[in-house]
Amino acid sequence: DADVTQTPRNRITKTGKRIMLECSQTKGHDRMYWYRQDPGLGLRLIYYSFDVKDINKGEISDGYSVSRQAQAKFSLSLESAIPNQTALYFCATSEGSGGYTFGSGTRLTVV
Amino acid sequence: QKEVEQDPGPLSVPEGAIVSLNCTYSNSAFQYFMWYRQYSRKGPELLMYTYSSGNKEDGRFTAQVDKSSKYISLFIRDSQPSDSATYLCAMSSKAAGNKLTFGGGTRVLVKP
């Protein structure tokens, strides 16, 4: 199994719908992150969590919410999806100052 | 201006050539520097990790950090078609909780 698993891999949804992206990790790390990737804009941090009781906004959190259900699980929700949220979404985990381990990504299209 | 600047490329080189990639940054607090490789439709994977200034070598890959110039580099020797990917630099500081700030990535194409 992959160290970081994201579901679904691809999703097409309509404007206004609520959608949840899920992430689970087997690394045993406390820190988890959600990023979105857009052409020309690189990876931008949406939310991050340093442990189960710690949730923090990143640079582009508007329109998103998260839930840290357990050390291994961190989900991202779009309460009311809009077309400019069409992007590639990545979940990642890390330990301290170490490098991140990323999932394979979720390609989300909002029509 | 972005905190971390990286030329988007694409950078096209013949097989066997040296690939030279770099990033500049503005935040002098950055102390951990990384390079990630991302293949199409995949998540980024950690390639090189360095702390503070200096060089680090791992096989065909060499990472250099010059904190005085706020400049980091990645060199790939004897490049192979399998090195064709997007390379992202990333950096962090203890003051910011070691959250990574990424460059936009450089797309590299190694032609057989």
Residues B97-107: tens digit of each pLDDT: 888 999 999 99
Tokens standing for A3?
Answer: 């160290």
In angstroms, rounded to a whole number, what is the distance separating the alpha carbons of residues B92 and A99? 10
CA torsion sign, B94 to B96 to B100 to B103? negative
Please classify residue A57 by burial: count the beta carbons closer than 10 Å to its beta carbon, then call 0-12 exposed, 13-18 middle and 19+ buried: middle
**pLDDT, tens only, A8-58:** 999 999 999 999 999 999 999 999 999 999 987 789 999 999 999 999 999
Dump strand ranges (E) for B26-105. 32-38, 45-51, 54-58, 61-66, 71-76, 85-92, 101-102
Nearest chain B residue (CA) to A89? B43
Residue of B nearest to A33 (CA): B99
- pLDDT at position B94 is 86
DSSP helix/strand/coil, B95:
helix
Number of Cβ within a 10 Å radius of residue B15: 12
B5 pLDDT more than 90: yes
pLDDT exceeds cutoff 90 at A96 = no
CA nearest to B87, candidates B70, B69, B67, B72? B72
Q: Is the dihedral of CA B75, B78, B80, B82 positive or negative?
A: negative
A104 → closest Cβ in B42, B92, B94: B42
Determine, for residues A43 and B43 on separate chains, whether the beta-carbon distance falls below 8 Å: no
Task: Give the percent of chain B with pLDDT over 70.
Answer: 100
When pLDDT is cut at 50, 70 and 90, the band that residue A2 belongs to is confident
Q: Give the minimum alpha-carbon distance from A9 to chain B in angstroms, rounded to a whole number.
A: 10
Residue B69's pLDDT band (cuts 50, 70, 90): very high
Q: Which residue has the tokens 């002098």?
A: B28
pLDDT in the model for residue B98: 84
Helix (H, G, I), strand (E, B) or coil at A17: coil
| Mean pLDDT score across all residues of chain B | 94
